[in-house]
Structure 1
Amino acid sequence: MKDLFYRMKKVVLANIISLALLLGACSTKKTFEKQEDGVVVHLNDGLGAKQVRLQVISDDIIHVTATPADTFSHAQSLVVLPEVKGTSSWKLEESADALTLLTKSVHARISLKTGEVSFTDSTGQVILQEKQGGGKSFTPVTVENLKSYAISQVFESPADEAFYGLGGHQNGQMNYKGQDVELVQQNIVDVIPFLYSSKNYGLLWDNYSISKFGDPREYQPLSSLKLFTKDGKEGGLTADYYVEDKIKESKVENKIDFQYLETPQVDSFPKDVSHKGKIVWEGSFTSDAAGLHKFLIYSSGYIKIWIDGTEVLNKWRQNWNPWTNKFNVDIKSAGEKHAIKIEWTPDDSGYLAVTHLDPYAAEDQNRLSLSSEVGDEINYYFIKGKDADDVINGYRNITGKAPIAPKWAMGFWQSRERYTNQKDLIDVVKEYRKRHIPLDNIVLDWQYWEDPKWGSHEFDLKRFPDPKGMVDELHNKLHAQLMISVWPKFNKGTENYEEMRKNGFLYMHNIEKKRKDWVGIGYESTFYDPFNAEAGKLFWKQIDKNLNSIGIDAWWLDATEPDIHSNISIDERKINMSTAMGPGAKYFNAYSLMNAKGVYEGQRASSPEKRVFILTRSAFAGQQRYGATTWSGDIVSRWSDLQDQIATGINFSLSGIPYWTMDIGGFAVEKRFYNLTGETLNEWRELNTRWFQFGVFCPVFRSHGQFPLREIYNIAPEGTAEYNSLVYYDKLRYHLLPYIYSLAGHSYFNNSTIMRGLVMDFNADSKVHNIADEYMFGPDLLINPVHTFKARTRQVYLPATTGWYDLYTGKYFDGGQTIEASAPLDRIPVYVKEGSILPAGPEIQYTSEKSADPLTLYVYAGKDASFTLYEDEGINYNYEQGKYSTIPFTYNESTKTLTIGDRQGSYQGMPEKRTVKIVWVNKDHAAGVSFTAQPAQVIEYTGKTVSVVSK
């Protein structure tokens, strides 16, 4: 009996061992799958992701996807080019707990237990690693009956790391480390879910829904704090409603929420408060949670906020376009009280919401965190580079090159809201020509159509009697181009609306709601769906028929957030935008990308001889491939907004798209500027002058805004300091056109960036990481806009590792120091990097007037230097077939020799020979950039190498 027991025990034990071995073998088999271009790891520990896939795109680019489902999504990315595929050029190392994919420059390690991914260089130095355990989160959500997930991915981040990019945002933020950024398309916000790290890597977050960088929590009502009246009673703040200087009503309120059309509005206020008065909330607050408390203010009209008697916010916004501002309050211990006062002047009618967030753990705040409302899976691309240019090169390799802008687009654009008739528009161009002020493009803003035919793309012939003749006169007599405003919006009942509707190409929710817009008596309207490829083709067909056919040069694609109806909630905006591809919530941020795609592809088919140029109010990753320039939306004419544009443009450019612009002077105007006299007139002229001085050193140079009129001669009369400065900088732009147009060429052929955050060229100098109001324009010019009223100097940090020359005088400065730079009303501080070659051209009135002959080369000695001059036909795509030329310039400091190398390539109209003037600038010989600069040598260049030694 005992032997039988032992025999049975041995059999059972053997069976258990066999079963364990079998299960182990199955488990091992299912742990991962090696594929030609990467690996898929299968997880079963309940952490959320069932599978994580690493795909090797190149030696420097790894694609990571993670899903809680049994299979990965097969949907084609809207952002990444369809031809981007994985490569088999990599090796796999296996260990008991991890796999490591090895390329020549990147090692990507993935844990077999958690799916946690980390990236190191070939020496083992960590570049980026996911949070311990993987940092992945999937929360089931249902949107429009579609089951999906809210997703999140968290990475570790060392204390000395800095983050940039993510599009163009309007809170003056530069380095995003430890900050929060909401990625949601708004009138003045451009979303590009790509960031650059000072550790020289990039992350492309391939998701189209509303997303967040940083703290993923939603802001809460003000009542999430303990509130006290100004008399110290708990329960809320004291709210005093004023008409002029008299209190009409006082009450206690524990929330401030007048944010959207759907929430109670100023109509509920006592009579005349919204038109002649203000509301003041006053009292104190505290919390049981010690730490840094975040406040978010959404407002239009005038808003001022004081904390403990110190002003922390003073802003104005137009009522049809409110915006958010942030500030923090540190509550050092539980129960600590802080006084608060909020003063809001609605300015006729307005919107206001004050919300709050409790402290977020500092450890989490300083990590790199990305989250999205809707996603089938976590999907990101890791891009390693030697520097920022290399990282952006990788981004464009997978999302598309930026076609070269037409040469005329690199000149000066004049615009305003708006030229109401044909004569006004033509007369403006004639006035510029009469005054010999350079100009290339005139812009026709909205409402050129007959009311209410929005979406017809037809001119109102009463005001524009001969559209074709107008375009021909601009082209043939005035040598100017015309850009026109084209909205993706259609008023109900128009012919184009009906054509779109019958094909099912319109978003119909707004029509079903019978909402009327704000124009005239108000009309029911909606937008078309560019996510439907056939709708995009029809949209272009309608534009082509009425506008492209008469020779209009460029397209101002306005309201591409899309702004289906202003001041409705985000949730309502998502419902309005139910796309052919899926719910609006899932595709919310990508409307502009798809709209630009249809117009770009349409024009290239209809008019293949003409470069597409698009100006659009929104942006998304990959949009650069569609010939699109983004402007920063309907910003306001205030000094604080001028300052914010600097960081906005820098971070936009660090997001991988090279063409950016803004409304020089700001778009929306306070009432105090309507009647300009005295000090208000002086401020208006100075504000526009300072903004213009900054704008000349932006990728696209464009003036635009509401009344007062924005033409140079309307801003200030001839002979004034402001007028003279505006004309000077306009001419300077044209003088530097050989340099600027070369930057455009480099942005295509080399995937380079025109407007460059200091981190791009001086990353090793940690002092530049947080500088938000200086940048490089191309590789050689350091730009320092003046953004304070009546300032006549400004602090300028000159980055280390190189010296600097004053652009206007040639005076030399050592790098690595902060100087008090002179900034008279007519100049902003601009410096040229030691070891630079600036090519410049003759004085011209428009870009196609003549070639850059004579060509002036300003050579800034002290270090070796190089620059490549790029030239082509300027208006077509022949450069894609190799019809362009490059001329390399090099300077050798040890031999003091400038070499102009052999010209490579050719194009129609290329000058076979030209005069070259050489201006030497060094520590002992100062010389400024100007048309009258005296060259030390003058040579004839015929396309063959010639060397010149400095005298």
Structure 2
Amino acid sequence: MKKAGFFYCILFFLSAATVRAQSVPLQWQEVAAGIWKATIGQPENVNLLKAAGAQPRQEALQQLGARNFPLPKEDCYAAIQEGKIYLRFPLQQEEQLYGLGLHFQTVNQRGRILNLHVDHYGETDNGRTHAPVPFYVSDKGYGVLINSARYITVYAGTGVRVDSKTPAMPQDRNTDPSWNPQPYSDAVEMLVPAPGTEIYVFAGNTPMEVVQRYNLFNGGGVLPPKWGLGFTERMPTLSTAADIRNEVAAFETHRFPLDFIGLEPGWQTKAYPCTFEWDKRRYPDPAAFTKEMLDKGIRLNLWLNPYLSPASSLYPAVKPLSGSHTVWNGLVPDFTLPAAEQIYKNLFTKTHLDIGVSGYKIDEVDGYDFWLWPDVATFPSGTAAEQMRQVYGLLLQRMTTAWFKEKNKRTYGLIRASNAGASSFPYVIYNDYYNHRDFITALCNSSFIGVLWTPEVRASKTAEEWLRRMQSVCFSPMAMLNAWADGTKPWSYPEVEKQVNEVAVLRMRLLPYLYSTFAQYYFEGKPPVRAMNLVDGFAFRNEAVKGALNATDNPYEMAVRKDVGNQFMLGDYLLVAPMFAGEVKRTVILPQGKWYDFYTGKYAGAGEVIEVAPGLDKIPVFVKDGGIIPMIPPVMRATGNGVLPLEVRHYGELPGSSQVYDDDGETFDYQQGKYTTYLLTAAKDRHGRWKGTVQVRNPLKLQQQYANIKWVFMQ
């Protein structure tokens, strides 16, 4: 018995030693400028970046320059235990973390535990969300991506290790009033339930540069067609072709801009599950109707979920290529199989794309658990149900984008689920949750993870709320009224119709600025909408604090240290601070440098917290010193307006330089260099007078979009 006991003790110690030996520093290989990759264990064949299929834009990454590895390599650990991956990365004392999914209530994710799981948002920032991207950005200038299609658990500075290099000091709750139930943690730890995974680290001088590298590594940001940045409305579910005609006429009567209309489930013969085939009772001649709309400058976007009805002509061919479980009694095609994608492509191309349909709204690929396939489901490719859940939105974005690209036509649509690698996809996330404040926080958080979000407008309890929501959506990636449920119109509240129209027209006037901002997303990786934590001059600065950190002695430092999810940057120069129903005033945190009121040019402040009371008519917007804002006259369509005069506004005291980007607005020819830029420069001449100059760069002799450029100096 003694020998047996000794033998088992040896086995125990050998086993423990084996586990400890598996926890080793990661080995890093630079795969692009400022980007490193490490591999632990045996990575699975299905992962996020493979599902997205994007190719890194190496030349653009090179232009950002070389960087050193941004973390102490000896403190980046991985271990394999019980068929799972354990990861650990270091954290500094004041370090803040952003990203890790599309959150609606929090911006700084340090001190949170998240289970990254594609799901419908359940009103809690717990990691179950529409885009649970396993990528975090540090304010210290680096980012970490875990390329696994599993449900990853993240402990973002919550676990306190016994072997910590900077251990928390024990406190006595009985006598110490500063006792903290969550002691200081110096590590981000993750649990990946997989036999192996790839890990990427992105370096940058600033958090913005980190995000740029992430987006460029994933193909660069999307450049939508011009019409995608106009105004859109989604029609009630059972609308007919006649209803659409009447709606277009009503928009024209009310002089309200409109570029594309969304058809909800009733365009199909059956939905929930879907046939993807036109209901000829509501749309007797889809091809003629689509052409009629295109002739008016109106695009059509079709709602769908991917689950196939037994009534569909595709059903027999798709059934052997589908999962073991249905959704709403519809087949769930395994789109990791090329054969399944090809069947859908054949039908969609023939009956949608070939007749001029411009895009899709892809619904119901997010959750809830009791709606989608369970994790016990199986798929013919061998892809686990969990993995399919994490990548399904990516697969649908990738394949539909490719169909349009084959026709050299850009698209712009809506999606309910996304994940890492989606930066280049022309899709904007939306959901059924409807909290205005939280929608703006989501807009901020989208900028860290390479996805787009729209704070859509559906309904409101009051005219004030309606206007405030409309003001917000007109400064977002997609200006959408979603009237599918109750048919609410932009003019449904007559007492604010004028103001609603004004802000919608303002969006159209800003199209040159918006389009150039999205071009920057593609070429440079800078997201169009930016959380304040990505803005130079906004970060918390320890050296600025003298004495105790509190709202009285250090109001600015206290403000930027908090979660700032109620204001954002749109492009390089515009700071947008939405108002919410019931508010007559609000605070705005201005980054370092001078800022000016967009509407009047009046000086607003510099590196400080201000209070504004704009009245009901205006959404507060501020312009950075030296900012240049190009604008066009009011238009009802984003395209088809011919050569337009350009009004160029310059704000502030600093000289400024900005680039207006233009191309055909429809095709992918810009990727072959077929585009025009207007270099706008404002400076004082030798007499101290402001002067604006324009340099047109048009190497391929494209038709000039803008002429009669007029400078306005907002002094």
- Taking structure 1 as the reference length, the TM-score comes to 0.64
Describe the shift of the 1:879–1:46 C-alpha distance in structure 2 as closer, same or farther (beyond 3 A). Answer: same
1:871 aligns with 2:657: no
Which residue of 2 is the match for residue 242 of structure 1? none
Which residue of 2 is the match for residue 537 of structure 1? 342
Partner SS for 1:128:
coil
Using the alignment, how far apart are the partners of 1:615 and 1:157 within structure 2? 36
Which residue of 1 is the match for residue 307 of structure 2? 489
Which residue of 2 is the match for residue 368 of structure 1? 188
- The partner residue of 1:590 within 364, 370, 391 is 391
Using the alignment, how far apart are the partners of 2:709 and 2:239 within structure 1? 45
Using the alignment, how far apart are the partners of 1:129 and 1:403 within structure 2? 34
- The partner residue of 2:639 within 848, 864, 867 is 848
Using the alignment, how far apart are the partners of 1:884 and 1:84 within structure 2? 21
1:696 aligns with 2:487: no
Determine which structure has greater relative contact order: mean sequence separation of CA pairs < 8 Å that are 6+ residues apart, divided by chain length: 2
Which residue of 2 is the match for residue 248 of structure 1? none
Tell me if structure 1 keeps the 8 A contact 2:415–2:428.
Answer: yes
* Structure 1 residues without counterparts, runs of 5 or longer: 1-42, 88-102, 108-118, 120-126, 141-148, 219-290, 292-330, 335-358, 518-523, 667-672, 674-682, 923-951
1:783 aligns with 2:576: yes
Which residue of 1 is the match for residue 81 of structure 2? 139
- The partner residue of 2:154 within 195, 213, 221 is 213
1:816 aligns with 2:636: no
* Structure 1 segment 617-766 matched on structure 2, within 5 A: 617-625=416-424, 627-636=425-434, 641-657=435-451, 659-665=452-458, 683-714=461-492, 716-717=493-494, 720=495, 722-766=496-540
1:805-831 deviation per Cα after TM superposition (whole angstroms, max 9, x unaligned): 111222112212222201322222111
Which amino acid is the alignment partner of residue 574 of structure 1?
A: D
* Structure 1 segment 539-558 matched on structure 2, within 5 A: 539-558=344-363
Describe the shift of the 1:51–1:389 C-alpha distance in structure 2 as closer, same or farther (beyond 3 A). Answer: closer
* Structure 1 segment 917-936 matched on structure 2, within 5 A: 917-922=710-715
Using the alignment, how far apart are the partners of 1:104 and 1:545 within structure 2? 45
Tell me if structure 1 keeps the 8 A contact 2:642–2:705.
Answer: no
Which range moved further: 693-702 or 533-542?
A: 533-542
1:656-713 deviation per Cα after TM superposition (whole angstroms, max 9, x unaligned): 23x33232246xxxxxx8xxxxxxxxx3322221111111111221111554323202
Which residue of 2 is the match for residue 505 of structure 1? 321
Following superposition, the deviation at residue 915 of structure 1 comes to 0.5
1:457 aligns with 2:248: no
- The partner residue of 1:580 within 367, 377, 381 is 381
Which residue of 2 is the match for residue 799 of structure 1? 591
Using the alignment, how far apart are the partners of 1:216 and 1:128 within structure 2? 16
Following superposition, the deviation at residue 755 of structure 1 comes to 0.2
Describe the shift of the 1:830–1:199 C-alpha distance in structure 2 as closer, same or farther (beyond 3 A). Answer: same
Following superposition, the deviation at residue 367 of structure 1 comes to 3.0
Bigger-Rg structure (1/2): 1
Tell me if structure 2 keeps the 8 A contact 1:415–1:444.
Answer: yes
Tell me if structure 1 keeps the 8 A contact 2:632–2:647.
Answer: yes
Following superposition, the deviation at residue 904 of structure 1 comes to 1.3
Which amino acid is the alignment partner of residue 128 of structure 1?
A: L
Tell me if structure 2 keeps the 8 A contact 1:442–1:483.
Answer: yes
Following superposition, the deviation at residue 78 of structure 1 comes to 1.1
Following superposition, the deviation at residue 536 of structure 1 comes to 1.6
Describe the shift of the 1:82–1:649 C-alpha distance in structure 2 as closer, same or farther (beyond 3 A). Answer: closer
Using the alignment, how far apart are the partners of 2:421 and 2:370 within structure 1? 28
Following superposition, the deviation at residue 851 of structure 1 comes to 4.3
- The partner residue of 2:623 within 827, 832, 844 is 832
Partner SS for 1:192:
coil
Which residue of 2 is the match for residue 350 of structure 1? none
Which residue of 1 is the match for residue 96 of structure 2? 162
Describe the shift of the 1:567–1:822 C-alpha distance in structure 2 as closer, same or farther (beyond 3 A). Answer: same
Following superposition, the deviation at residue 85 of structure 1 comes to 12
Partner SS for 1:191:
coil
Following superposition, the deviation at residue 138 of structure 1 comes to 3.0
- The partner residue of 1:568 within 370, 374, 377 is 370
Partner SS for 1:202:
strand
Which amino acid is the alignment partner of residue 551 of structure 1?
A: G
Using the alignment, how far apart are the partners of 2:65 and 2:584 within structure 1? 52
Following superposition, the deviation at residue 154 of structure 1 comes to 1.9
Tell me if structure 2 keeps the 8 A contact 1:166–1:191.
Answer: yes
Partner SS for 1:187:
coil
Following superposition, the deviation at residue 45 of structure 1 comes to 7.4
- Taking structure 2 as the reference length, the TM-score comes to 0.84
Which residue of 1 is the match for residue 549 of structure 2? none
Using the alignment, how far apart are the partners of 1:53 and 1:431 within structure 2? 62
Partner SS for 1:559:
coil
Describe the shift of the 1:811–1:86 C-alpha distance in structure 2 as closer, same or farther (beyond 3 A). Answer: closer
Partner SS for 1:168:
coil
Tell me if structure 1 keeps the 8 A contact 2:57–2:219.
Answer: no
Following superposition, the deviation at residue 560 of structure 1 comes to 2.2
Tell me if structure 1 keeps the 8 A contact 2:26–2:77.
Answer: no
* Structure 1 segment 889-928 matched on structure 2, within 5 A: 889-892=680-683, 897-905=690-698, 910-911=703-704, 914-922=707-715
Following superposition, the deviation at residue 877 of structure 1 comes to 1.1
Describe the shift of the 1:531–1:856 C-alpha distance in structure 2 as closer, same or farther (beyond 3 A). Answer: same
Tell me if structure 1 keeps the 8 A contact 2:51–2:395.
Answer: no
Tell me if structure 1 keeps the 8 A contact 2:79–2:85.
Answer: yes
Which residue of 2 is the match for residue 402 of structure 1? 221
Partner SS for 1:689:
helix
Using the alignment, how far apart are the partners of 1:86 and 1:75 within structure 2? 24
Which residue of 1 is the match for residue 71 of structure 2? 128
Following superposition, the deviation at residue 452 of structure 1 comes to 6.0
Kindly tell me the number of residue pairs found equivalent between the two proteins: 650
1:381 aligns with 2:194: no
Following superposition, the deviation at residue 55 of structure 1 comes to 1.2
Partner SS for 1:622:
coil
Partner SS for 2:28:
strand
Which residue of 2 is the match for residue 177 of structure 1? 110
Describe the shift of the 1:442–1:551 C-alpha distance in structure 2 as closer, same or farther (beyond 3 A). Answer: same
1:630-671 deviation per Cα after TM superposition (whole angstroms, max 9, x unaligned): 2231113xxxx11011111111122123x33232246xxxxx
Following superposition, the deviation at residue 737 of structure 1 comes to 0.8
Tell me if structure 2 keeps the 8 A contact 1:596–1:614.
Answer: no
Which amino acid is the alignment partner of residue 630 of structure 2?
A: P
- The partner residue of 2:400 within 572, 594, 599 is 599
Tell me if structure 2 keeps the 8 A contact 1:131–1:155.
Answer: no
Which amino acid is the alignment partner of residue 349 of structure 2?
A: D
Q: CA RMSD in A?
A: 3.2
Which residue of 1 is the match for residue 140 of structure 2? 199
Describe the shift of the 1:332–1:481 C-alpha distance in structure 2 as closer, same or farther (beyond 3 A). Answer: farther
Tell me if structure 2 keeps the 8 A contact 1:653–1:753.
Answer: yes
Which amino acid is the alignment partner of residue 446 of structure 2?
A: F
Tell me if structure 1 keeps the 8 A contact 2:216–2:524.
Answer: no
Q: Whose strand proportion is higher, 1 or 2? A: 1
1:470-523 deviation per Cα after TM superposition (whole angstroms, max 9, x unaligned): 2112111x211111112211123532222201xx2211223xxxx7x3xxxxxx
Using the alignment, how far apart are the partners of 1:617 and 1:435 within structure 2? 31
Describe the shift of the 1:375–1:894 C-alpha distance in structure 2 as closer, same or farther (beyond 3 A). Answer: farther
Following superposition, the deviation at residue 79 of structure 1 comes to 5.8
Using the alignment, how far apart are the partners of 1:177 and 1:215 within structure 2? 5
Tell me if structure 2 keeps the 8 A contact 1:216–1:371.
Answer: no
Percent of aligned pairs with the same amino acid: 21
Using the alignment, how far apart are the partners of 1:465 and 1:527 within structure 2? 29
Which residue of 2 is the match for residue 860 of structure 1? 651
* Structure 2 residues without counterparts, runs of 5 or longer: 1-16, 122-128, 160-167, 541-556
Which amino acid is the alignment partner of residue 755 of structure 1?
A: V
Tell me if structure 2 keeps the 8 A contact 1:130–1:156.
Answer: no
Which amino acid is the alignment partner of residue 655 of structure 1?
A: I
Using the alignment, how far apart are the partners of 1:774 and 1:151 within structure 2? 38
Using the alignment, how far apart are the partners of 2:225 and 2:256 within structure 1? 20
Using the alignment, how far apart are the partners of 2:671 and 2:312 within structure 1? 40
